Amino acid sequence: MNPARNRLDQLIDEGLASYANAAPRWGLETRVLRNVLGKDSAAYRFPRWAWAIPALVIGFALGIAVAPPIRTMFSAALNPSLIGEWCARLEASSLSTRIRESELFWWYIEGGHLMALAVMLGPALMLDLRLIGVLWTGDPVSKVEKRFLPITITGFGVVVATGLLLFISEPVKCYESPYFRIKMCLILIAGLNALVFHSTIDRRRDEWNTTLPTPRSARVAGVLGLLIWTAVIFAGRYMAYTFS
Amino acid sequence: MSGIPKTISLADSLLSRRKESPERDARFTDLVHRRSLFVFRVAYAALRNKSDAEEVVQETFLKLYRSDAIERMQDERAFLARTAWRLAIDRRSKTVIVMPSEDLAASGPSPEDAAIAEDWNTAIHRLIDALPDHLRLPLALSTVNEMTSREIAQAMGIAEGTVRTRLMRARQILKEKLETLKGGSAP
């Protein structure tokens, strides 16, 4: 065989392979269904039950504040002799004292904590709403995740750092607050929720990246994310305003 | 622009709803999800313009939905390829003289320039675009989702043997032109 001839065949095959390899604008199927069926297909309709989400979130958050059994449960949950003593020693440390007594530093930490919460939770909620199928349904999950997740992770890093400093400044008060314990438990549950999501259904994302409705487990992860993080915010605020 | 509108009118919508059933809609929705990219590529092979190809996708599925073909078609791939191809050729014959495909606008490099710039893919695309239609169109279709000669023949409404001959002839011409180009510039 003539090698030059083979090279030409190879060049032509490569050129042909890319010749018709065009992709339409995103959402062609949606536009076709919308135009042809004369309505949004059932899969793309705004789910009515989605209105229940804010109601659930508010109810859950209020429940934490007003239900005495929940507070009592978290007040008695930990052994005061061990962790309490450790918190007392931490509060007596020079670092804790310096943070507590430096007004300017404290305000910066508190402000940074709140700012980072917004940076973290705004995109996280957007991603949760995409998983549920309420917002950004015109974009693949991977695209939404790529857009929002790095911001959430950055925000989370700052939240943890500033939160740790805030805790160090007043560890005993934090420890004694049932809302702080609720908040920590909720953050743990949120972490577990993310871990379960990323290690199960998210591993098969290629199968449902562009389909609607999203799989049930993805929607459950999204709803749980919304509920838990909202409750974390409420618990954090209750904690701040009930410090004795 | 063919006679089929881009968006459905109220009368069209009412007409469609007469035949509407949840099962039929579900089957149609599934078909759109599975085959819209294939239909797009068939149309794009003929038109070389994304917007026009998308319009053809809309028209193809609208035509399918309005007819009863969705219930009786034997080979959905062949049926969709044929319908999309005819609509694309129809659209092309009406638009190509006035607006000869925006993706092929003269702004790009010539095959010689592209080859000199060592971008052989661009050079080959230009050479394919320069082929006469009766050779270019079957060649373009052969690049879509591995369409066979039989499927191309069905879509174009010509004999399978003719398709094979034209594909061979098209490749032969491409080789000759590439040889000439390569003589002028080594990749």
Cross-chain residue pair A41–B143, CB shorter than 8 Å:
no
For chain A, which residues make up each domain, given as ranges?
Answer: 68-242
Chain B residues with CB under 8 Å of A14 CB are 120-121, 124
A8 in contact with B, Cβ within 8 Å: yes
Instruction: Please provide the average confidence, as pLDDT, over all residues in chain A.
Output: 81
CATH class entry, domain B3-91: mainly alpha
CA distance B167 to B152: 11
Both tokens of A181, joined, read 């314990």
Residue A243: helix, strand or coil by DSSP? coil
* pLDDT tens digits, one per residue of A10-62: 888 888 888 877 888 777 888 788 777 754 444 444 456 656 766 676 676 66
A19 in contact with B, Cβ within 8 Å: yes
Nearest Cβ partner for A8 among B13, B33, B175: B175
Return the CA Rg of chain B: 19
- DSSP letters, B105-162, are -TTSPPHHHHHHTT-HHHHHHHHHHHS-HHHHHHHHHHTSTT--HHHHHHHHTS-HHH
CA neighbor of B27 nearest in space, from B69, B79, B60, B55: B69
- Which value does ipTM take for this structure? 0.70
Residue B117 has pLDDT above 80, yes or no: no
A211 in contact with B, Cβ within 8 Å: yes
Range(s) within chain B of domains with CATH label 1.10.1740: 3-91
Residue A181 has pLDDT above 90, yes or no: no
Cross-chain residue pair A24–B139, CB shorter than 8 Å:
no
Nearest Cβ partner for A38 among B13, B124, B142: B13
Chain B residues with CB under 8 Å of A22 CB are 40-41, 44, 50, 53
**The predicted structure's pLDDT at residue B8:** 41
Question: What is the model's pTM?
Answer: 0.48
pLDDT category at B7 given cuts 50, 70, 90 is very low
**The predicted structure's pLDDT at residue A176:** 84
**The predicted structure's pLDDT at residue B6:** 41
Between residues A16 and B19, which one has the greater pLDDT?
A16
* pLDDT tens digits, one per residue of B78-115: 889 989 989 998 887 766 544 344 444 444 555 555 55
Instruction: Please provide the average confidence, as pLDDT, over all residues in chain B.
Output: 76
Chain B nearest C-alpha distance from A45 (Å):
14
Residue B187 has pLDDT above 50, yes or no: no
Mean pLDDT within A160-180: 90
A41 in contact with B, Cβ within 8 Å: yes
Cross-chain residue pair A19–B143, CB shorter than 8 Å:
yes
In the block, tokens 């010689």 appear at B112
* pLDDT tens digits, one per residue of A66-86: 666 666 666 655 555 677 888
Q: What are phi and psi of A57, to 5 degrees?
A: -60, -50
Chain A nearest C-alpha distance from B180 (Å):
11
**Share of residues in chain A with pLDDT > 90 (%):** 23
**Share of residues in chain B with pLDDT > 90 (%):** 12
Range(s) within chain B of domains with CATH label 1.10.10.10: 111-185
**The predicted structure's pLDDT at residue A17:** 81
Residue B51 has pLDDT above 80, yes or no: yes
**The predicted structure's pLDDT at residue A157:** 94
CA distance B66 to B13: 10
**The predicted structure's pLDDT at residue A51:** 60
**The predicted structure's pLDDT at residue A102:** 86
Residue B12 has pLDDT above 90, yes or no: no
* pLDDT tens digits, one per residue of A96-147: 998 888 877 778 898 999 999 999 999 999 999 999 888 887 677 888 898 8
* pLDDT tens digits, one per residue of B24-33: 888 888 888 8
CA neighbor of A128 nearest in space, from A53, A21, A34: A53
CA distance B162 to A19: 22
Neighbours of A210 (CB within 10 A): 19
The CATH architecture of the domain made up of B111-185 is: Orthogonal Bundle (1.10)
**Share of residues in chain A with pLDDT > 70 (%):** 80
